[in-house]
Amino acid sequence: MKSAYLSKLQHDIRSLVYKIEQYIDDEINIKIDKSRKDILACEVDKYGATILIPEADFFPDGSVLHELLHIHRLCLEKVPRLVVCDKYWTPELEKGITKLDNNLEHFIIVPKEFGLRPEQKECWRSYINKELENFHFLNHIKNDQERRALIYWAFINHALPEAALISKAGVLIESLGIMDRASQFLDATISCIDEKDKLVKVCFEHLNLPVDIGCLEYIDCKNKLCYETPLDNVKIM
């Protein structure tokens, strides 16, 4: 990472940068993407990792940490990424599957983020509150509404189990008439939270998504390799 950006980070976050860069034997790039609005993102492929920022001087420590945790999961922990299998690819499916994968990664990443930066809880609390408050204003078909609500329910109960948020999410779940389904979904996801392949398979089953559209992409940044395996091949014992 260029020193101009590295110097903006606190010591522990700089150490995480060094650890990742040493492992992949490459520099984490920084790219300005003016289409972004006060939100960072990352891009990872077999050739390396890039953090996207909206403008040159927007580089908040907590947000950078979040993206580094995403990169660490993919590159160092070799956790697979959910993608659309080639023969089913469409722009719409790619957008939806990418969003689902990001949400599932947050089940693991956000608690780690809180462990290193407890003040980030306020950012996430505010974000989830807005999502719940605006939920019924979004123009989603019924199945998509239910899937979105189930993801919120599982995330809140696992990563941010605060009474006020659980109560607000519970009202939403009840309004959709899926409380039993939400309880089953939560139990199923928590049972395999640390096994990404099984977690994705369980989510597809409980969210009523066709399993054959999904593939798991494994990225080896160190050796510049990448391969996919169909989600249908994943077995849940």
Q: What pLDDT is stored for residue 137 in this prediction?
A: 65
- Residue 92 DSSP one-character state: H
Structure tokens, 122: 């306020």
12-41: string of b/e by CB count within 10 Å (b at 16+)?
A: ebbebbeebbeebebebebeeeeeeeeebb
Reported in sequence order, the residue ranges of 69-185 that DSSP labels E, i.e. its strands, are: 81-84
213 by Cβ neighbours in 10 Å (0-12 / 13-18 / 19+) ranks as buried
Q: What pLDDT is stored for residue 71 in this prediction?
A: 98
Q: Tell the residue number behind the tokens 């020193």, with chain if given.
A: 3
Backbone dihedral region of 233: left (phi > 0), alpha (psi from -120 to 50 degrees) or beta? Answer: alpha
Q: What is the mean pLDDT of each run of 10 residues along the chain (237 residues)?
A: 96 97 96 91 96 95 97 97 96 95 97 96 95 78 88 97 97 95 97 96 95 96 94 85
Measure the CA–CA gap between 145 and 147, rounded to whole angstroms.
5
137-152: string of b/e by CB count within 10 Å (b at 16+)?
A: eeeeeeeebbbbbbbb
Q: What pLDDT is stored for residue 140 in this prediction?
A: 65
81 by Cβ neighbours in 10 Å (0-12 / 13-18 / 19+) ranks as buried
Q: What pLDDT is stored for residue 139 in this prediction?
A: 60
